[in-house]
Structure 1
């Protein structure tokens, strides 16, 4: 990989609950692996659940994982994070995560995931929702809501965000 292609790799955030279901964990692991196989840098919250599963999948595929941590301790990152950013910002780190990425994949749903989806849409970034938050029908026609696409599989999520970034 040349220096130029390394600098222009897509940065794709994967958001989801820290306390994930077995299905959410498996979907996130597949998303992380597929993103890494396609050359994307995976950005996540760096802790457990969906964040750890996507990092594990990306790492197993030889990818780079940036963990944007809420606390001030880099060692709190899950073991699959390549680069740990200790922000000390608590949940406000969601804004850092969104501003770092080119697009976001939401796997499952929690209040933190909802905030990341909302921040990404507000920033005009594409979002693929995999068993996650989707806008109410009356909001679906708004410009920001059109950035949010509901997808059914990890491959569809990855294809969707990489084609729209």
Structure 2
């Protein structure tokens, strides 16, 4: 029988690590038989990837959709990509990010469409564009923050999880709706 793991996309600041949230989130996700997907850069992307990667008993992989470098026809990557914990770097020709993150030449479309469920940590224009795309493509998404003021521009329609337990509940419910459950509590999928 073929097995396919759910993919949990984690999005957030490319500058601030939000380690107090990203590290426990990445560690927990690594125990859940899922793949982790990020944009492969610094900040939240690096901290959640490192936490996931460092769990030795995990089955999932650290995946990343990498941006292209604008004007580069040779497949070059911007500085800092991929971070050291990315196991499967998917290189694209798509350079746009930030305020241009919803443009067809942004990798954000691939990140959102490839994710079974998304967890958003506070970020700026790039993160907000990924959130807008999640709404457009009707992907389940939750913000991991204490209050909306911590995440300027967060749409009112996006639910907030203030604790890791609330994020875990959201992710589990959304994945179980699509993939089912097992007796041991870990998220599993068998087609």
Q: Same fold (TM over 0.5)?
A: yes
Any unmatched runs of 5+ in structure 1?
137-144
Q: How does 1:75-90 map to 2 (within 5 A)?
A: 76-90=81-95
Q: Distance in 1 between matches of 2:45 and 2:92?
A: 16
Q: Distance in 2 between matches of 1:151 and 1:66?
A: 24
The equivalent position to 1:34 in structure 2, one of 11, 17, 28, is 28
TM-score by length of 2: 0.72
Whether contact under 8 Å (2:39, 2:66) holds in the other structure is: yes
- Structure 1 residue 70 and structure 2 residue 75: aligned? no
Whether contact under 8 Å (2:37, 2:65) holds in the other structure is: yes
- Structure 1 residue 4 and structure 2 residue 2: aligned? yes
Any unmatched runs of 5+ in structure 2?
69-74, 98-105, 146-150, 176-191
Bigger proportion of residues as helix = 1
TM-score by length of 1: 0.82
Whether contact under 8 Å (2:63, 2:89) holds in the other structure is: yes
What does residue 154 of structure 2 align with?
Answer: 134
Superposed CA deviations along residues 88-121 of structure 1, whole A, max 9, x for unmatched, are: 2022001110011111000112111111111011
Bigger proportion of residues as strand = 1
Q: Distance in 1 between matches of 2:169 and 2:66?
A: 27
Segment of structure 1 superposing worse, 9-18 or 152-161: 152-161
Q: Distance in 1 between matches of 2:66 and 2:51?
A: 19
Larger Rg over CA atoms: 2
The equivalent position to 1:121 in structure 2, one of 135, 142, 148, is 135
What does residue 160 of structure 1 align with?
Answer: 170
Q: Distance in 2 between matches of 1:76 and 1:135?
A: 29
